[in-house]
Each structure stands twice: as C-alpha cells, then as structure tokens.
C-alpha cells in the first residue's frame, strides 16, 4: 500500500534556516533539505500524512512565523501539499550534492556512487531526519575547525560530541585521525542515524560510541576528561551547557561551539568567560559563527 506524505515548502530569510530545521525536527519531520533561492532560503520537509492533519501543519506554520517575529526577521512563507511515497523518497535527496569542506574532507551522500579519483577524505552520509548534512554553515565551520585542531597528533585526542545529530562531526573527527569519539543526543532518531552513518563509513563501534542523552551522560560512557568538545546546536542550549562543560574537561581541553548567530556572540562570550573558558578564535560564515575555545 502506497503511503502518502506531506511535503512542506518554507521560503525564509537565510538567518532562520537552523531555527526552522530544529523546529521541523522537533515536529517530527522525516527528511529535510534546503537550498538557496536568490536572497532567500527554501527548505523542504516531509512527514507521513497519517501522523499530521491540516490543523497540525497550520500550528507549525504559526510557530515558524512566531520564531521569525521574535528574531525580528521577515515571516517565512509556508506551504504544504500531498505526494506519494515514491516521490518523497527521492525528492529531498535530489537537492543534496557532494560538498568539499576545508582542505581535506568531502561530504558524500550515501545514495551516490563512491568516487574513485578524489584525494580527499570521504565522509559518506545519510542523515535521515537527524541534523547535520554538511550543507549548513555551522556544520562547515565545525568541520573546518576540527581540521585545524586535529592537525597535530590527532591520534591522542578523545572527543565529546554533544548533540551529535547525524554523527557528522564524530565521523569527521575520526577520519581526521582522532583516537575516539563519544556522542550524545536527546533524540533517539539522531542516535540511530549516527549508528547507521558509523557503519556506512566502516568505523569501529569502539572508536565511535553514541548514546541517547546529554552532557550528563558522557561521564558514564567515558570516565576520563575529554581532550576536545564539539557542540553544534542552538545558542540557547549552548548557554545552558557551558557551566557543565568543566566537569568533563582537563586544563588542556579545547572546544568548538557553533549553531550561533552573529547577534548571539556576546551572551555566549560572557557565559564562557564566567565559567573559565577563553576564546581562542571566532570564525564567521554568513550570519553564523563558530567559537574555538580553550580552558582559561
């Protein structure tokens, strides 16, 4: 029996992209993709018709517009229509192409044939409904920062990945030579996606450990302090996590934090300073930024 799906199309200000992705993920969308449309950004998302009706989608559209109003940005245009299963299964994937990031990594969709001539480290990915495809500026910033951090003696580095999503930062760390990663995410679908992508990249499960939970779960997974901490989630959540990061850090621990809009720099910087962290570098891409931090 053919399943019918909702396809949502959201045309928005580019600065709203990550907020909308997180809102859609929380709503329960199964696949999401975005692309630049002139000065705007078009996001497509998919969910089974049986799980939501018109009222649910109308409520979601209202939430997206409220988020934009709070951010003082133009309200997104939200539309939806029904498509058959065979259409949705390939629709969002057709908008996502291989992408070179930094000097060494190539993010490669799992459904494409593996390239034979690339000299880059191949990171194969099928994110499912989890955040993290490499297309978003914050993910790119984190991977570029990891390339810099893991440029020397990466084999000694054990890394905590908080809010691991698709597992892209953990996998990127290991491809760049890290010894081991421990990822946590509150969403069980993200944990499942990380496990799948770990297998897709032929990574030993003992090198990339993933569990459902948050920062409090990490000491149960690895009792020693971490050498590095990566966290690519919303700024509001990062502010809540910063005071807890010292418990899993050593004096030499470094961190990479993103998911932060440029106008959110100051509260993040203040919270870091109050909790014994110094900003080593601040990288920016479009409206987004990435904190490279170390113990003060």
Q: What pLDDT shows up at residue 1? A: 46
The 10 Å Cβ neighbour count of residue 153 is 10
Out of 3.90.1300.10, 3.40.50.150, 2.40.50.140, 3.10.20.520, the CATH code matching 102-295 is 3.40.50.150
Q: What does DSSP say about strands 31-37 and 40-48: parallel, antiparallel, or unpaired? A: antiparallel
Q: What is the structure's pLDDT at 222?
A: 97
Q: Where are the domains of the chain?
A: 4-94, 102-295
Give me Rg for the CA atoms of the chain.
19
256 versus 41: the higher-pLDDT residue is 256
pLDDT digits (tens, 9 = 90+) for 175-204: 999 999 999 998 887 899 899 999 999 999
Q: In this structure, are residues 6 and 46 in contact, taking their beta carbons and an 8 Å threshold? A: yes
pTM summary value = 0.75
d(CA 280, CA 296) in angstroms, rounded, equals 10
Residue 157 — pLDDT band, cuts 50, 70, 90?
A: very high
Q: Contact, 242 vs 295, CB < 8 A?
A: no
Mean pLDDT score of the chain: 88
Cα distances (angstroms) measured from residue 55 to each of 29, 80, 161, 162: 16, 12, 36, 34
CATH hierarchy code of domain 4-94: 3.30.70.260
What's the pLDDT score for residue 257?
A: 97
Burial (CB < 10 A; 0-12, 13-18, 19+), residue 48, is middle
Q: How far apart are CA 17 and CA 10, in angstroms?
A: 10
Q: How high is the pLDDT of residue 77?
A: 95
14-18, 85-89, 145-149, 215-219: least confident range? 85-89
């Amino acid at each position: 029996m053919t399943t019918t799906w909702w396809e949502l199309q959201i045309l928005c200000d580019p600065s709203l992209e990550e907020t909308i992705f997180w809102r859609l993920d929380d709503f329960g969308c199964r696949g999401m993709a975005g692309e630049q449309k002139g000065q705007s950004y078009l996001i497509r998302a998919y969910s089974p018709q049986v799980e939501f009706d018109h009222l649910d989608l109308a409520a979601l559209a209202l939430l997206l517009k409220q988020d934009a109003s709070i951010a003082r940005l133009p309200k997104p245009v939200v539309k939806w229509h029904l498509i058959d299963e065979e259409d949705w299964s390939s629709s969002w994937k057709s908008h996502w192409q291989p992408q070179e990031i930094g000097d060494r990594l190539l993010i490669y969709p799992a459904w494409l044939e593996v390239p034979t001539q690339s000299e880059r480290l191949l990171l194969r990915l099928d994110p499912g409904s989890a955040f993290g495809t490499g297309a978003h500026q914050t993910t790119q910033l984190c991977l570029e920062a990891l390339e810099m951090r893991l440029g020397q003696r990466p084999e000694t580095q054990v890394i905590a990945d908080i809010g691991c999503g698709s597992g892209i930062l953990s996998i990127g760390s290991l491809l760049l030579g890290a010894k081991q990663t421990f990822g946590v995410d509150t969403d069980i679908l993200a944990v499942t996606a990380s496990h799948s992508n770990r297998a897709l990249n032929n990574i030993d499960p003992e090198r990339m450990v993933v569990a459902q939970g948050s920062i409090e779960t990490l000491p149960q997974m690895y009792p020693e302090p971490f050498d590095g901490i990566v966290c690519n989630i919303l700024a509001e959540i990062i502010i809540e996590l910063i005071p807890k990061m010292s418990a899993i850090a050593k004096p030499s621990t470094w961190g990479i934090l993103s998911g932060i809009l440029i106008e959110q720099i100051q509260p993040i910087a203040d919270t870091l300073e109050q909790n014994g962290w110094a900003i080593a570098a601040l990288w920016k891409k479009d409206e987004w930024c990435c904190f490279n931090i170390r113990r003060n």
